[in-house]
Amino acid sequence: MTTPTAIAIDPGGRFTRVAHVGSDGTPALAALPGEVPGEGLPASGNTAGHPAAALRAAYAVYREHYGTPEQVVLVVPQHDRATHARRATDVLTALHGTDPMPRLRTLSHPHAVLALLRHAGTATAHRFLVCDLGATAVEVSVCALAPGSVAVTGTARQAPGDGFAAGFDAALLTGAGLPDDEATRLALARARTRDGAEQRLDVALGHSARRPGRYDDTVVLEVAGGEITVGVLRRALDRLTAGLDAVLDETGDDSAPPLIAVGGVARSGTLLRHLTQHHRAPVALPGGVDPALAASFGAALVAAGRVDPADRYPYAVYVGTHRTLGGEIEAEDLLVSPAEALEPGGATVFAETGGRRVRVRTRPIGSGAARPVRIHVRDARGGNATQIGTLTVPASAEGARYHVGVRIAVDGTARLVLHPVGSGTPSEHPLGALPTHIEGARS
């Protein structure tokens, strides 16, 4: 058995997918005890609906079976990416304790999905809508592609109290007179993965659409001794399409970019027909990849180094500085990081000129009130800029000089870094999350 050394983990509300790239270059789910074929490791007990707990359980199973990997890419939702990334990183750090850690990075769902298409050479448009139909929520991300980067310029999301796909499953089970518990949900998942099951459901719904009401009592799926009928299935699906339509309308993108549908619900031919009729036909996933596995497979390609994640920050970062010329203080903007140089969890990028790091000084101790430092980002193509804000850095001893840099942590938040020239401990100053869209920026 070949042990995967680079893996991707996508902790969902119902299943956690652990994927790797085989020797033939094809992504696949890692074979693990207790997995549901084609789905991954089911969430159980207190892990259901709790990504951090599901990640902890799945990673423990993986390590017990394969040992510690060298590289782990964690797939996190675009919504509140920093929080999810921080929690996921904390989970893996706690599990390792004092043991050697794998290299960690996080990748948002839309970046992971587009990594799959970019690796296959099918991401040929300049903009995409990535529609993630997950267990807990439906999330649509507007993505702009440029050479070397994918920028998420907007996100719309709906998360019903009982979940999105999870609520769909609950409606199926309740309509069949079955309990919505862990064992029955698992039985439903296994029933769906049987050969031809999804096709039978889609055919039955097609017949029902042509002859409303006539086939409502026809049984299309048997689960744990209960029967799911066409009528139950149709009513549950209506709930999904209403939520999906609302989120797509919220994106308000009149340019109608190509739409990519992923997640377990995107397996439904009926849902895809709805998208085609009411919005536009979703683009085909490369090689017929299961839409539920698209994010984990794309992240696995990133983990294995087969494709660049393209989540480098698309804009240049500038710091406001001052210098004295002829006795007059003049303000100027110092380029710290060029566009597409920063990546989450990557190295600090320092301001350079002529191939050498720029030396700066801060306010000397005892020189009076601190001068706020302005930070802004700029679109390199169009020149449009937006200010992040200001911060005050500590005063320093007379004659002290620093290299100034910026880095993006694994949780997606940025820090301004002041590294003493010669020797000394660098200081970091939080900037928060850098803006992902500049009004009027060229894509």
Q: Which residues of 224-263 are buried (b: 16+ CB within 10 A; e: fewer)?
A: bebbbbbbbbbebbeebbebbeebbeebebeeebbbbbbb
**pLDDT tens, position by position, 112-166:** 999 999 999 999 998 899 999 888 888 999 888 877 778 888 888 888 877 787 7
Place of tokens 């993965």: 193
Summarised one tens digit per residue, pLDDT across range 319-333 is 988 776 666 767 788
User: Mapping DSSP to helix (H, G, I), strand (E, B) and coil, where does residue 230 land?
Assistant: helix
Query: Which pLDDT tens digit goes with each residue over 167-225?
Result: 878 888 888 888 888 888 888 878 777 766 767 777 777 777 777 777 778 887 788 88
Which of 405 and 48 is assigned the larger pLDDT?
A: 405
Q: Please tell me the chain's helix, strand, coil percentages from 3-state DSSP, rounded to the nearest 5.
A: 30, 30, 40
* Residue 196, C-beta contacts closer than 8 angstroms, at least 6 positions apart: none
Contacts of 214 (CB under 8 A, 6+ apart): 207, 208
348 pLDDT more than 90 = yes
Query: What's the rounded mean pLDDT across residues 65-86?
Result: 87
What pLDDT score does 114 carry?
96
Report the pLDDT averaged over residues 67-82: 88
Query: Whole-angstrom Cα distance, residue 298 to residue 55?
Result: 18
Model pLDDT, residue 422: 85
Q: Residues near 406 by Cβ (< 8 Å), separated by ≥ 6?
A: 317, 336, 337, 342, 348, 349, 414, 415, 416, 417, 431
pLDDT surpasses 50 at 97: yes
Q: Considering only residues 361 and 201, tell me which one the structure prediction assigns the higher pLDDT.
A: 361
The sign of the dihedral angle between the CA atoms of 376, 377, 379, 385 is negative
pLDDT tens digit string along 403-423?
999 998 877 789 999 999 988
Q: What is the pLDDT of residue 129?
A: 93
> Where do the DSSP E strands lie in 22-102?
27-29, 41-42, 71-76
Residue entry with tokens 């999810």: 84
Among 250, 252, 36, 231, smallest CA distance to 157 is for: 250
Q: Residue 150: count other Cβ atoms within 10 Å of its Cβ.
A: 25
Average pLDDT score, the chain: 85
Q: Domains of the chain, with CATH numbers?
A: 1-121+287-308 (3.30.420.40), 123-283 (3.30.420.40), 316-433 (no CATH)
| Position with higher pLDDT, 220 vs 25 | 25
CA distances from 133 to 32, 188, 389 (A): 25, 18, 35
- Which of 105, 150, 103, 106 is closest to 130 using CA atoms? 150
Q: Please report the pLDDT score of residue 1 as a whole number.
A: 45
